[in-house]
Amino acid sequence: MNRVMLTADFGLSRIVHGQMRMAGWKLTRPELQSFLEELVDLGVTSFDHADIYGNYSCETLLGEILMGNPGLRNRIEIITKCGILLKSDKFPGRKIKYYDYSFDHIIASVESSLKNFRTDHIELLLLHRPAPFFDPETVARAFRTLKKDGKVLHFGVSNFTPSQFEMLNAFTDEKLVTNQVEISPLTLEHFDNGNIDFFLREKIKPMAWSPLGGGRILNPSDDKGSGVLMTLRAIAGEMQVRSVDQVIYTWLLKHPAGIIPVVGSGNINRIKTACEALDLDMSLEQWYRIFTASRGKELP
């Protein structure tokens, strides 16, 4: 599988595996280990996490597999996120969900993630969401410390706008390498808020979370969703592919911004379906038919 280079010497697999729902897959440890090994054999080597996933449990699940199979660690790239504090039974004194990008919290969150993953470094740390209370100098100092100590190799963000990305980038020693945002045939927000243009201008390869719309594309609940699904099915027939999923992944992969889909399934066949899209193509007209179906009107 081809890789997407985020810097001259650091890249991710063209398909990233999202492990947010790992705790819900109910796989035994041998089953999970077999599944992860099969992913890597397919070339899907980049694993996407966050400290909060699975009510603070998913990082530990991956760490248990890595502890039992140390050779696997050298074949993967770990992505994780920090900054969101959930109201959770794990933290009974916490009254609300909020964000914390203080120096102490970023450092403590990474230390916790390293312990959970049973590793001494994380390839890519993302700030999970932009925050209304945010000190970029403090964040940059935390990044500088983690980089100097070899605990995090690269940094990025998630769900940031272009201005928020540029603001933080102005303070960091090393440039942010990616922004993980929601992109799907149902979610065109980042074509409207300037992010896609920004990615192209700055040659930033974005990751796309929820590329299938969180199931809303395949199970539409409104006229817009039904129209998008009808268009996807028609194009699947034209492309002679076996699933609408492959049309969606092809639509994302075709875009010149170099969008990296984050595929969050615990079913290996669904991952194989995504990987097969790497060998597919669609016409420019087909790409725009999907875009227009989501817009609900012709281009101006």
Task: Collect the ranges in the chain with pLDDT lower than 70.
Answer: none
- CA distances 31 to 1, 38, 186, Å, are 24, 11, 33
CA distances from 212 to 27, 98, 215, 287, 291 (A): 23, 27, 6, 16, 14
Query: What pLDDT was estimated at residue 1?
Result: 83
pLDDT score for 242: 87
Residue 35 token pair: 């599944």
For residue 142, being part of any structural domain is answered with yes
Residue 35 lies in a domain: yes
Q: Which amino acid is at 290?
A: I
CATH number of the domain that 48 lies in?
3.20.20.100
pLDDT for 122 equals 98
What is the chain's alpha carbon radius of gyration, rounded to the nearest angstrom?
A: 19
Kindly state whether residue 194 falls inside one of the protein's structural domains: no
Q: Does residue 209 lie in a domain region?
A: no
Domain contains 21 = yes
pLDDT for 179 equals 98
Q: Which of 53, 56, 99, 249 is catalytic?
A: 53
How many domains is the chain partitioned into structurally?
1
269 in any annotated domain? no
pLDDT in tens, 212-247: 999 999 999 999 999 999 999 999 999 999 899 999
Q: Which residues contact 193 (CB under 8 A, 6 or more apart)?
A: 161, 162
Using CA of residue 40, residue 217, residue 162, residue 170, what is the dihedral sign?
A: negative
53 is catalytic: yes
102-151 confidence digits (pLDDT tens): 999 999 999 999 999 999 999 999 999 999 999 999 999 999 999 999 99
Tell me how far apart the alpha carbons of residues 147 and 88 are, in angstroms, rounded to a whole number. 30
Show the domain range for 172: 3-177
